[in-house]
Amino acid sequence: MEEEPKVDAHFPAVAHTLTLQMDGQGEWKIINDDYTDEFKDAFGTNVDWNSLIQSFPEEIAKEKAEPKRLPPAHPGVTSTVVSSGSTVPNGTTGPYYISYNRSGAASYALSHTNNSGDSVRTQNYNPLFYAYPGNDCADYVSQCLWAGFGGSDSSYGIQVHVYPMITSPEGAVYPWYADSATDGSTMWINAYSLINDATSNYSNGYYGVQMYTESVNSVALGDVVLDSSGAGHVEIVTNVSGAPDWGTIFVSSHTNNRYNAPLSTPYPNTKSRLRVSFYRVSAYLHPPAY
């Protein structure tokens, strides 16, 4: 091939086995492309397209009429609440939503930072995760979201990336995981990627953490704040002491370490507040059980 093939990020980890045969002019030709994906598993290779397309309206109506059911929980997944808010029986495969424990995320955040203003690891940091020197803000917020979605705070669970961490082979367009080594995914450790990828997950129905843009007057416990100056900085809301506003919203962060400080401290005026955006943590869309 004369150039590197382009890979569609929406269909990761699909392996193709190509069979080549030389023709009479001495040129190689592809005569077969063998692969397995969800569509091929469901419908096979000999598809009657007309019948399949005609069946869609009936199948969609049936799916809407049936209650959504949850697969058995993976290690570290404790919630069985789907997006509608109803709790349903376990036992079948299929994607479902994990609800966000806001107080759990905030509690984790307050347990793993301090108000020292340090930019290096302190005794408050979770020792099971690698701390990125001078740039640990997104890693810290990801840990808080992970805790809010039922993350298993154990060495084994973290090292093998159990849910709610998610990697590409498990269906994530944007992998979201980290451990004690320095191989955290971009979405986990980069402020802009965390925000952009989570909002894309929400907009497109992708698996993983989902967020959407929120106004300052609607901010809730466990939501995420982005300072878009420079390389970007994210913090997590750890208290709202009244009607949400700059003086009643309190945030915590890493690098520099901040513990439950009012937003009005780092952003005292209109000019400084123009670079701040707020994001509602919606839910986590769990892939089908494996």
The tokens for 92 are: 């079948």
Q: What's residue 231's pLDDT?
A: 84
- As to burial, measured by CB atoms within 10 angstroms (0-12 exposed, 13-18 middle, 19+ buried), residue 254 is buried
Render each residue's pLDDT in the chain as its tens digit; 290 residues.
555 555 444 444 566 788 888 888 888 888 887 766 555 555 566 667 667 666 666 655 554 444 333 333 333 333 344 433 333 334 445 688 899 999 999 999 999 999 888 887 888 999 999 999 889 999 999 999 999 999 988 899 999 999 899 998 877 899 999 999 888 999 999 999 999 999 999 999 999 999 999 999 999 999 999 999 888 999 999 999 999 999 999 999 999 999 999 999 989 999 999 999 999 999 999 887 64
Among the residues of 132-190, which ranges form H helices? 137-148, 155-159, 186-189
CB 92 within 8 A of CB 113: no
For 81, which DSSP code?
B
Q: What's residue 14's pLDDT?
A: 60
- Amino acid present at 285: L
**Cα(43)–Cα(63) distance, rounded to whole angstroms?**
18
CB 17 within 8 A of CB 34: yes
Tokens 């367009």 locate to: 173
pTM, two decimal places: 0.69
Q: What's residue 55's pLDDT?
A: 67
User: Which among 174, 173, 199 is positioned nearest to 184, based on CA atoms?
Assistant: 174
Integer angstrom CA distances of residue 128 from 123, 133, 248, 283: 12, 15, 32, 25
The tokens for 159 are: 């090292």
Q: What's residue 42's pLDDT?
A: 54
